[in-house]
Amino acid sequence: MADKRFFATGKPLSLGEIAERIGSTLADNADTNRRVSGVAPLDAAGADDLSFLDNPKYADAFHATAAGACIVHPRFVDRAPPKVALLVSEQPYRAYALAAQMFHPDEAHGADTFGERGKVDPRAAIHPTAKVGSGVTIEPSVTVGANVEIGNNTVVGTNTSIGKGCTVGKDCFIGPNVTISHAHIGDRVMLHPGVRIGQDGFGFAMGLPRHEKVPQLGRVIIQDDVEIGANSTVDRGAGPDTVIGEGTKIDNLVQIGHNVEIGRSCIVVAQTGIAGSAKLGDFVVLAAQVGVTGHLTINSGAQIAARGAVVHDVPPGQQYGGVPAKPIAEWRREVVELRKLGRRRKADSKPGE
């Protein structure tokens, strides 16, 4: 169950309302007017809760659940406990996400952290030329520079700094201890605590007698509905802009170099590093700890397995893995052959060798 000290729950909702929102079908045993009060895991849910089953691994918990209602795939309908009302969906996890958003909208879109939503705290330092929209929350110790623009209903968390000239759209969540400079940020963007946006890219003219810094004269453009996880960094461009495309989701501890262009609805998982001037198409997936060399292109729909090192362009829709990254079937064959070779060498070795 969600701890009410941290997670406010909305009003109870009828199964009919929920089914319409999440695009599911009510089973014959489900009363359209029956109300549930929140969402909970199968093993913790009570009669007033909605739960879900997506992974067969949890079938036993489904059989034993006390949940009042459950979202399930059609293949599990006949295996449901008799008292559990069913909402049937081909994508139960996605349907659950939409249902949970109905009960916890703040957690889906970002909530204030200090506890005074919709207020500008007098301890914030806001330049007189800044434009702050209606319903904006600005928490203690925030600094907002000259000519900054912040859209309606955006939340800016404690100790965050928004540098001069930046723009932030409406309905955004800017978490505590975030720094933003040289950036334009769209609507409904979420920046989690410690995110760094718009600092210098790592650009130097190397040589004797010393390495000379190259002024970084670009910006960061973050389009609508982007989410960036805690302590991730996005460098501004050296001349061209660094661009994060609409709907892209970036995990914690990700480094994005200068001039990088990331397309729409990409997924970038924790501890990934993308070097300068690399380009990602739409719907690209980079799993954990992927490294991407600069000045290459990962085309739309490509997926890179965890710890892959991308050193050449990746064709659209392909799955790559390994070091250096190669088509995933080829990489898997190489892994199998290396294991076989290791076993043969071990079998052929003499005792004591």
Annotated catalytic sites, by residue? 258
Q: What does the CA dihedral 42, 45, 48, 52 come to, rounded to 10 degrees?
A: -20
User: What is the per-residue burial (b if ≥16 Cβ within 10 Å, else e) of 158-181?
Assistant: bbbbbbeebbbbbbbbbbbbbbbb
Question: How far is 243 from 240, CA to CA, in rounded Å?
Answer: 9
Task: Compute φ and ψ for 228, nearest 5 degrees.
Answer: -125, 125
Question: How far is 68 from 2, CA to CA, in rounded Å?
Answer: 16
- Partner residues linked to 179 by β-bridges: 161, 196
Question: How far is 230 from 203, CA to CA, in rounded Å?
Answer: 24
Question: How far is 248 from 141, CA to CA, in rounded Å?
Answer: 29
